[in-house]
Structure 1
Amino acid sequence: MHLNARIFVAGHRGLVGSAIVRRLQAEGYDNLLLAGRDTLDLRDRESVEAFFAAHKPEYVFLAAAKVGGIHANETYPAEFLLQNLQIQNNVIDAAYRHGASKLTFLGSSCIYPKLAPQPLKEEYLLTGPLEPTNEWYAIAKIAGIKLCQAYRRQYGFNAISLMPTNLYGPGDNFDLANSHVLPALIRKFHEAKLNGNQQVVMWGTGTPRREFLHVDDLADACVQLTRTYEGEEIINVGVGEDISIRELAELVKEITGYQGEIVNDTSKPDGTPRKLLDVSRLHALGWQATISLSDGVEQTYRWFVDNQAQVRAA
C-alpha cells in the first residue's frame, strides 16, 4: 500500500473510521478519500456507484455502520439489519467493480453464537444461535463476511474481514439512549460527580464479562493487516483478556473521581454472559494490542471532558 495510494475510509467520522484516518495520516498516507454522510449516503446504491466511478479508490476500509448498544438494537431492529446490509452490499460491490486492489471489512465479535465456548475462535461462526439483543446487527455483519468471501471465491476480489471486540476511545458515542457500555458509564459517573448524586445505576447484574480494545489499537491492526494479510478466513482483533461489567464500573468510578455508590438495575438485560476473543491467529500474524484498559479509559475520559462542546452525547 504505497503512500500516495487512493484510500477510501468509509465512515471516517465514526469511532473506528476516524481512528483509521489518524493512523494512516500518522504513517504518511496523504491521498485519503473522505466523504461524510451529507455528501455520500452509503445506503444509496447510485450515490456509491457515482463516488467509486469518479474517484477509483485503490484501497477501501469499510468502517461505516449503524451501531449501538442493547437498547438501540432492541428499539430499531429493522434499521440495524437493513441499513447495514445496504452499506455493505453497495460498498463491497462497487469496490470490486471499480478495480479496488483491496477491501478491509470491519465486523464485530457479536457475530458469534451466544453460548459458544470461550474464548471465541474464528471457526465458531455459524455454529449456534445468536444473542437475541443484537442479532439484527450480527446477521448483517455475518452477511458482510460472506459477501467478502463470495466475491473472493467467484471474482478473486482481495477482501479481508476483521472482527474487533468491544471498542472505545476518542470520538465514541456518549448518548445514553444508544451508546455502548463503556462510554455510557463514563458519562454517567462524570455527570453524577458534577451533580453530587449519591448513586449511579447500571444496567443488569454486573456479572457479564467483556473484552475492550482501544480504537487506536484497532486502527493500527487494520493498517498492518491490510498491508500483510491475504486470507479468506476472518481474523479476530482483540486483547485476549476480559473484565466483568462491575469491575469496569469500579474502574470508571475511580478514574472519574466519583465518590458515591454503584446500584444494579437487575430488571435490565445483561446480554451475552461472556464475550472474549481468541486472538491466537492475530498474534501469529505478528500483531498485539499495546494500550492497557486503565490507560485507555483515562485517555478517553480526558477526551470526553475536553470535548464537551462537540461530543456525541444527546
Structure 2
Amino acid sequence: MSNTPTLVGQQSDSLREAFGIAIAKVADNDPQIIVLDADVAGGTGAHNFRSSHPDRFVQCGIAEQNMVSVAAGMAHSGFKPFVTTFAVFMLRGLEQIRLSVAYSNKNVKLIASHPGLDVGPDGASAQCLEDIACMRSLPGMVVLSPCDALEVEAATKALANYDGPAYMRTGRSPCPSVYVSEPEFVIGKGKVLNSGDDITLISCGVTTHRALYAAKALEEIGISTRVIHMPSIKPIDKELIWQASVETKAIISCEDHNIYGGLGSAVAEVLSERPNAPLTRLGVNDVIGCSGEPDELAAKYGIDADGIFKSAKSVYEELLSHNDK
C-alpha cells in the first residue's frame, strides 16, 4: 500500500519546513489563504510562503496578541488566515485565541512550531509542554499533531479545506519519515501503524516514530504491540481507542507534552466511558523542562524508544504477574 508506514531509509525532514512548503503549494490554488508571522518566519517555515506569495504574507512583528486579533478580523472578512509562530509564543495570545477565534468560531488556523522537548537546548522557557492542554480545552478548537513531513503536508491541505478554528503542532528538529508517500488525512481519525494483540501504544507527533521503534523491540522479546498514531487529538478517534481497549491487554499513551491535559488525558477520557484495559500515560510528568538536545531530553523523561520499550515491558510483565495470581 502506498501509505504503509515505514522507517526504512531514515529520511529526515523538519515538520516546520514541511508546513511552510505545503502552505505555499496550497495557496497557489486558493487566493483566500493569508499567512501571518510574528518575526520568526525563518523558524516556522513560513519563509517559504513569504517568498512565493509576498502579497499575502503579513508581518505582525513580535506582537502575538495583535496577530491573532488581526487574523480573526481577516477571517471575518472571508480570508483564510494561518497564524504562525513558536508554540510558547502562541500562548501569549491565548486570551485573543479564546475570545476572538474560539468564542467567535472564526476560520483561523494556528500553526505552532517548536513544541515540547523538541525545542531542545533552548531550555525550559522555550519548551511548550502545555499547548495541547490549553487548545484542547477551547470549545470548537480542532487540535492536530502530525508525525512526519508527509503527514504535515496532508494535514495542511485538510486544514485549508476545514472551516473553523484549529491548532496544529509542527516541530523544530529533523524527524524520520514514517510514511513512504503522502497519507490520507482525516480530521478526527487515527491510524494503526503496527498490528498487535498484547499492548497498544498510542502516540502523536514526533513521538510516533519512537513508538514504532519501541514496538519492534518489544516484538523481539515476544510482546505483540499495536501502534496507533493519533494525529487528531481533538476530535479524537474514540472507536479506535475503544477497539484497542477490548483487543489488547493495556494501553500506553506517548507524547512530547505534559501528561496532564494532552493526548494521555484525551485517551483517558475516552477510556473512562468504556473502561476495559488499564492505561499508562508516558510524557513529561508535570515538571518544567531543562536544556539539552531533543533526543537526550526524550531519554531523560522516558519518551524515547528505549523509555517506551521499558515502560511497555514493565506494564506487560505486571499484567502477566496479576494473571498468574
TM-score normalised according to structure 2 size: 0.29
More strand by share: 2
TM-score normalised according to structure 1 size: 0.30
